[in-house]
Amino acid sequence: MINKVVGNADEAIDGIKDNMTLMLGGFGLCGIPENSIGALVKLGVTGLTCISNNAGVDDFGLGLLLQGRQIKKMVSSYVGENDEFERQMLSGELEVDLIPQGSLAERCRAGGAGIPAFFTPAGYGTEVAEGKEVREFNGKPHILESALTADFAIVKAWKGDTSGNLIYKGTARNFNPPMAMAGKITIAEVEELVEPGELDPNFIHTPGIFVQRIFQGEKYEKRIEQRTVRTRS
């Protein structure tokens, strides 16, 4: 049995170098690999292309890498909560590829499944379609989208075993499963690490075959982007 367990985030990101492409799971701040992002900040790698649904907030998540000018390009679908992201994009410091959210998810899934490209109606007639092949299916125009892969995919799961099998919890599942499939090397950080056989196979979301490194994270802040409460009547 291959030993996939590493001691911490610093060991997990070994081999990540300048100018690499990374996929990072999460939606907003939900299900992001907090420990791994912190380790990347300390490592100081630069010129990164980051594929992620969003760019975190100014002082948390991928926002920390943006603060340190470590990201060269963001491939995302939503970026509305990060003032520094907006500033860098408008000033031309940051290259941005905005993708419809469903297309982003499918491009990651296709990359993991070995499908090089697919046609989708999403984005037709907009800037998203510029320079892309258009074909008609069932009387409706579709644009050709290419699959996405990465040098490293970094995901966050609720539970995992030492063989790399992963279970995500609730909405923290989001982009993590398709991205876990699409990395040449996939790093998984989990809240609870158990021995093989302790996870119910009926509830495993990511099979261990896709995961090369796994570690148990610590001190998860799990911050909420915008907390909304109602007053008592």
Q: Residues 164-187: pLDDT tens digits?
A: 999 999 999 999 999 999 999 999
> pTM of the full predicted structure?
0.94
Domain ranges for the chain: 9-115+149-216
Q: DSSP label at 229?
A: -
As a whole number of angstroms, the distance between CA 36 and CA 24 comes to 9
Statement: 9-115+149-216 belongs to CATH 3.40.1080.10:
yes
What digits encode the pLDDT tens for the residues 81-120?
A: 789 999 999 999 999 999 999 999 999 999 999 999 999 9
Q: Quick one: CA torsion of 99, 101, 104, 107, rounded to 10 degrees?
A: -120
* Mean pLDDT, all residues of the chain: 95
pLDDT at 81: 79
As a whole number of angstroms, the distance between CA 82 and CA 71 comes to 14
Return the minimum-mean-pLDDT range out of 7-11, 76-80, 93-97: 76-80
